[in-house]
């Protein structure tokens, strides 16, 4: 249940005031990486995603691990968004390849602070195992088979830097551990072509590039470390599926007991990545579900500090001023921009947190930032000094409280969602914005449309983008 609550943190906060989810707070600057700690034990498994921003399989899998898993025994620390600025820009690295900055790095490098922070985390005395998630080209094979299957490829492999560490090191028999994980994951292949192989780079023998990597930094500090590579030939949900097969196998070997709230299949992973996309603004007075959101939302009342204080439902989501358009807000999910907001900047009135609404014959107290399911009609009870604006309908009055609001009265183009079911009801006190709730006509979940995944259109995905 805990994993589900983490995944639904935003929805809960939309109903009652609460602290932001751990991935909603930047520790140094808005796109700094976050560390999500699951479980408690003297020894932790550190899982890193997103060191290269154009490898969505890895950071998507890490995000699911951080939000949809419950740790019953052991400890797992997850960094799903290590190179967050590059993820947002769909770049391998805005300032060069971050996975080549772990041997020597000048303080003048823009990513110096980020690299030092993750190095400190790797060296933490509680960290005993490090897994670095990547998407690699083709299919690694020990011998040349064809253009996509040969020793120069990286996809579908478990990477080790050497056979073993010092005797007594936790999971220090790197070759044996990697081989066992590959065998376990290979028992659940979707196609035989997808078989995983162990790739030993023999880094210390003179691989100058791998000497600069995160995994070899961990090895040099006495930590068992592995690179996990899913193939870039796959859509994102299949990449994340293979990543999670490998991660789960490592967790079991590390003595970690866990559960997840979704089926570990490619389709189950795809649904989990689509689920629970949302953002909350203004201390949870504004909530937007993003599963089926329109490409743009206009005149949304928000305070000017909204981007910095937004709460997102997934750690690879970000709310930022749009590039070159400081008067607009872009909401990102991994490599994709989900929607653009044209704000109506407003000061906030905090004198009330909810409105009384007559909905389908019953009276309810509806908190700001929540969704109200409506079968037939909803009527907001008038309150002295407050004005109600139902976006998308026009009754000819400045205050639309006391009026039955029905779906047929709203113009579909004003809906929050592309399905024309979600409509904004905004409340004002004078010129100040008090809060907003959503009417969802027809009942049920407003997730009929497709939600963006953290990938790119075309051959990267089979989900229709």
443, 217 contact by CB (below 8 A)? no
Of the pLDDT bands very low, low, confident and very high (cuts 50, 70, 90), residue 325 is confident
83: nearest Cα among 127, 117, 41, 53: 53
Range with lowest mean pLDDT among 291-300, 320-329, 422-431: 320-329
Band (pLDDT 50/70/90 cuts) for residue 445 is very low
Confidence class of residue 396 from pLDDT cuts 50, 70 and 90?
Answer: confident
Mean pLDDT value across the chain: 90
Query: Which secondary-structure segment (H or E) carries 60?
Result: helix 56-68
pLDDT in tens, 375-393: 999 999 999 999 999 999 9
In a 13 Å sphere around the CA of 236, the CA atoms on its Cβ side amount to 31
Average pLDDT over residues 297-326: 93
* pLDDT range class, residue 30, cuts 50, 70, 90: low
* DSSP annotation string for 111-163: THHHHHHHHHHHH-TTEEEEEEEEEESSEE-SS--SSSEETT--SSEEEESSS
Exposed, middle or buried: residue 57 (CB in 10 Å: 0-12, 13-18, 19+)? buried
Least confident of 25-29, 295-299, 400-404: 25-29
Residue 446: is its pLDDT beyond 70? no
The pLDDT of residue 124 is 98
């Amino acid at each position: 249940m805990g994993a589900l609550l983490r995944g639904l943190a935003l929805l809960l906060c939309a109903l009652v005031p609460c602290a932001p989810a751990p991935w909603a707070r930047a520790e140094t600057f808005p796109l700094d990486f976050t560390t999500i700690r699951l479980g408690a034990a003297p020894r932790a498994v550190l899982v890193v995603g997103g060191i290269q921003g154009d490898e969505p399989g890895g950071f998507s899998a890490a995000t699911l691990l951080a939000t949809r898993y419950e740790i019953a025994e052991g400890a797992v620390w997850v960094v799903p968004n290590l190179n967050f600025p590059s993820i947002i820009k769909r770049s391998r690295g805005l300032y060069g390849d971050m996975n080549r900055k772990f041997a020597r790095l000048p303080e003048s490098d823009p990513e110096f602070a980020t690299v030092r922070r993750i190095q400190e985390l790797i060296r933490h005395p509680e960290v005993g195992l490090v897994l670095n998630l990547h998407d690699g080209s083709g299919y690694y094979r020990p011998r040349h088979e064809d253009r996509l299957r040969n020793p120069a490829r990286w996809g579908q492999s478990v990477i080790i830097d050497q056979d073993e560490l010092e005797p007594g090191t936790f999971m220090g028999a790197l070759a044996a551990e990697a081989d066992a994980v590959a065998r376990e994951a290979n028992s659940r292949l979707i196609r035989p072509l997808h078989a995983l192989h162990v790739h030993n780079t023999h880094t210390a023998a003179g691989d100058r590039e791998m000497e600069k990597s995160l995994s070899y930094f961990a090895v040099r500090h006495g930590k068992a470390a592995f690179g996990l590579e899913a193939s870039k030939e796959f859509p994102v949900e299949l990449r994340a599926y293979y990543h999670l097969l490998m991660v789960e196998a490592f967790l079991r070997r590390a003595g970690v007991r866990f559960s997840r709230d979704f089926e570990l299949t490619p389709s189950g992973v795809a649904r989990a990545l689509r689920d629970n996309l949302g953002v909350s603004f203004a201390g949870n007075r504004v909530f937007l579900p993003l599963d089926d959101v329109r490409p743009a939302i206009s005149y949304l009342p928000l305070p000017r500090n909204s981007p910095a204080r937004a709460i997102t439902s997934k750690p690879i989501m970000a709310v930022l001023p749009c590039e070159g358009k400081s008067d607009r807000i872009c909401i990102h999910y991994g490599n994709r921009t989900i929607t653009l907001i044209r704000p109506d900047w407003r000061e906030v009135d905090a004198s009330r947190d909810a409105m009384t609404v007559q909905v389908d014959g019953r009276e309810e107290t509806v908190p700001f930032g929540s969704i109200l399911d409506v079968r037939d009609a909803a009527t907001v009870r008038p309150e002295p000094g407050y004005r109600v604006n139902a976006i998308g309908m026009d009754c000819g009055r400045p205050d639309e409280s006391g009026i039955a609001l029905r779906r047929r009265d709203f113009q579909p183009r004003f809906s929050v969602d592309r399905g024309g079911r979600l409509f904004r009801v905004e409340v004002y006190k004078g010129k100040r914005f008090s809060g907003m709730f959503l009417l969802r006509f027809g009942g049920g979940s407003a997730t009929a449309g497709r939600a963006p995944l953290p990938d790119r259109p075309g051959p990267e995905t089979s989900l229709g983008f």
